[in-house]
C-alpha cells in the first residue's frame, strides 16, 4: 500500500528554516540589547564629559596658547591700531590683542545679511533660484562689478549672495538688504548676543565679530546645509592678500574681508581649516597704508598657523 502524503502537512525543510529564523532573531535581539546596555554604560561612565570628546583625538585638544599670546603681544600689544582675536575651535581656548578696541567692520556686515537671506530660504519664504531686481538706488561702484548691469535687470538670490560674499559686491549686498525686513537682520545679531547693534555707532571688536563665524561653524542659527553653503561660498573669496597671505597654499579658509578707505580700516575674519585643528582668526587694522595692513595680517596669521599646526604636548 502506497504512503499517501497529507497535502496539509508542513515540509520538514520549512520547519528547520523557521526554527533558524527564530533563533537568529533571538540572537540578534540579545546582541542589540547588550550593545545598547554597553553603549549606555559607556556614556553614563563619562556623563560629566563633553559628548564631542570621543570624536576629537587627544593630541588636538590644545588649551595652552601662552607662548603664542606672548609672541603676538610683543609685536602688537602696544599698537592700539591693531586688534586680533583667535579661538581654537576644538577646545574654545582663545587669545586676543587689544581686545577692547573697536573698529568699523566695513564689508564684514555682509555676512549677517547673507545669513538672514539663508534663514528666509530655510523657512521656505524664498528660493535660491528666485530673482530680485536691480534698482538705481542699489548701484555702488566701490566694490564689485554688478553696478554695471542694466537697471531693472534681474539676478538670482544665489548669485547675489555669492557676489556679496566672494567679491564683496556692494550692489549685490544692497539688493539683498533692500528686500529684507529690518527685523530679519536684527534677529541674526540678537542670536549672537549683539542685540541693539544698530543703535550703536557701528563699530565692533574683533572678538565680538568672531561670534558670527562661530555661529556658522556650530550651525546654531541655520541648519547644517545652509551654514555649509555660506561657509563654502566664502572659501572662494577673491581677497587673499590679508590673513590668507600668511597661510600655506591650498589651506582651506572661509572668510570675509572688509575695507573702508575713508575710515582707514582693513579687516579680515574667518575660519582656518587647519586639518583637525580648525580655528577662528579675526584681525582688524587701522591705517591708511593697505600694504602695511597686509603685512600685519600676514605676520599674525603665519604665527598662529605655525603654532597650531606644530604644537605637540610633551606627554603625547
Domain map of the chain by residue range? 14-45, 63-310
Radius of gyration of the chain (CA): 28
* pLDDT confidence band for 316 (50 / 70 / 90): very low
Average pLDDT, the chain: 90
Residue 49 pLDDT: 85
Across the strands, what pairs with 279? 88, 272
Residue 50 is predicted with a pLDDT of 84
pLDDT in tens, 158-168: 999 999 999 99
Return the sign of the alpha-carbon dihedral for residues 145, 103, 108, 270. Answer: positive
pLDDT mean over 125-154: 97
Q: Is the pLDDT of residue 315 over 60?
A: no
pLDDT value, residue 208 = 92
The pairing of strands 265-273 and 279-286 is antiparallel
Q: Say yes or no to pLDDT of 6 above 60.
A: no
Hunting for cell 572668510 — which residue is that? 255
| Residue 42 grid cell | 559607556
CB distance 246 to 298 below 8 Å: yes
Task: Give the pLDDT confidence score for residue 42 in this predicted structure.
Answer: 55
What pLDDT digit, counting tens, does each position of 211-267 carry?
999 999 999 999 999 999 999 999 999 899 999 999 999 999 999 999 999 999 999
Core vs surface per residue 142-152: b (16+ CB within 10 A) or e: ebbebbeeeee
The CA-to-CA distance between both ends of the chain, in Å, stands at: 85
Q: What is the pLDDT of residues 188-210, one digit of tens each?
A: 999 999 887 866 788 899 999 99
pLDDT interval class at 45 (50, 70, 90): confident
The answer to whether domain 63-310 has CATH 3.90.600.10 is no
Q: What are phi and psi of 187, to 5 degrees?
A: -65, -35
Q: What is the mean pLDDT of residues 306-316?
A: 82
Nine cell digits for residue 96: 586676543
Residue 155 near residue 175 (C-beta atoms within 8 A):
yes
- What Cα–Cα distance (Å) separates residue 119 from each residue in 114, 166, 229, 286? 9, 19, 12, 33
Predicted pLDDT of residue 195: 84
SS3 310: helix
Q: What is the pLDDT of residue 234?
A: 98
Q: Which residue has the higher pLDDT, 36 or 249?
A: 249
- pLDDT of 186 over the 80 cut: yes
Could you give the CA distance from residue 278 to residue 5 in angstroms, rounded to a whole number?
74
If pLDDT is split at 50, 70 and 90, which confidence band does 1 have?
very low
What cell was used for 223? 541648519
Of 174, 177, 93, 106, which Cα lies nearest the Cα of 138?
Answer: 174
**What is the pLDDT at residue 16?**
67
Residue 78: partners with Cβ closer than 8 Å, 6 or more residues away: none
Q: Is residue 194 a contact partner of residue 93, using CB atoms and an 8 Å limit?
A: no
30-44, 83-97, 124-138: least confidently modelled range: 30-44
Q: Which residues, at least 6 apart from 89, have a Cβ–Cβ distance to it below 8 Å? A: 214, 217, 271, 278, 279, 280
Give percent above pLDDT 70 in the chain: 87
Question: Is the per-residue pLDDT at 37 higher than 60?
Answer: no
Give residue 53's pLDDT.
83
Q: What is the mean pLDDT of residues 117-122?
A: 98
Amino acid at each position: 500500500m502506497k504512503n499517501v502524503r497529507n497535502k496539509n502537512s508542513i515540509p520538514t525543510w520549512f520547519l528547520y528554516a523557521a526554527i533558524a529564523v527564530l533563533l537568529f532573531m533571538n540572537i540578534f535581539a540579545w546582541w542589540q540589547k547588550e550593545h545598547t546596555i554597553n553603549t549606555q554604560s559607556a556614556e553614563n561612565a563619562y556623563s560629566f564629559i563633553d559628548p564631542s570628546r570621543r570624536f576629537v583625538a587627544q593630541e588636538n585638544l590644545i588649551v595652552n596658547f601662552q607662548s603664542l599670546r606672548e609672541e603676538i603681544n610683543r609685536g602688537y600689544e602696544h599698537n592700539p591700531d591693531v586688534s586680533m582675536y583667535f579661538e581654537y575651535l576644538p577646545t574654545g581656548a582663545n587669545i586676543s590683542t587689544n581686545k577692547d578696541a573697536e573698529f568699523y567692520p566695513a564689508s564684514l556686515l555682509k555676512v549677517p545679511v547673507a545669513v538672514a537671506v539663508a534663514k528666509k530660504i530655510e523657512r521656505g519664504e524664498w528660493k535660491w533660484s528666485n530673482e530680485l531686481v536691480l534698482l538705481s538706488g542699489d548701484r555702488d561702484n566701490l566694490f564689485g562689478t554688478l553696478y554695471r548691469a542694466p537697471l531693472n535687470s534681474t539676478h538670482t538670490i544665489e548669485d547675489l549672495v555669492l557676489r556679496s560674499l566672494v567679491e564683496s559686491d556692494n550692489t549685490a549686498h544692497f539688493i539683498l538688504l533692500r528686500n529684507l525686513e529690518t527685523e530679519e537682520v536684527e534677529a541674526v545679531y540678537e542670536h549672537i548676543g549683539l542685540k541693539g547693534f544698530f543703535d550703536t555707532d557701528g563699530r565692533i571688536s574683533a572678538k565680538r565679530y568672531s561670534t558670527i563665524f562661530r555661529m556658522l561653524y556650530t550651525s546654531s542659527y541655520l541648519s547644517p546645509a545652509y551654514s555649509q553653503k555660506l561657509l563654502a561660498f566664502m572659501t572662494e573669496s577673491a581677497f587673499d592678500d590679508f590673513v590668507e597671505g600668511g597661510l600655506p597654499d591650498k589651506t582651506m579658509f572661509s572668510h570675509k574681508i572688509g575695507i573702508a578707505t575713508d575710515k582707514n580700516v582693513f579687516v579680515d575674519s574667518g575660519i582656518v581649516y587647519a586639518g583637525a585643528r580648525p580655528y577662528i582668526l579675526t584681525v582688524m587694522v587701522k591705517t591708511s597704508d593697505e600694504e602695511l595692513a597686509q603685512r600685519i595680517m600676514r605676520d599674525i596669521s603665519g604665527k598662529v598657523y605655525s603654532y597650531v599646526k606644530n604644537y605637540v604636548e610633551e606627554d603625547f
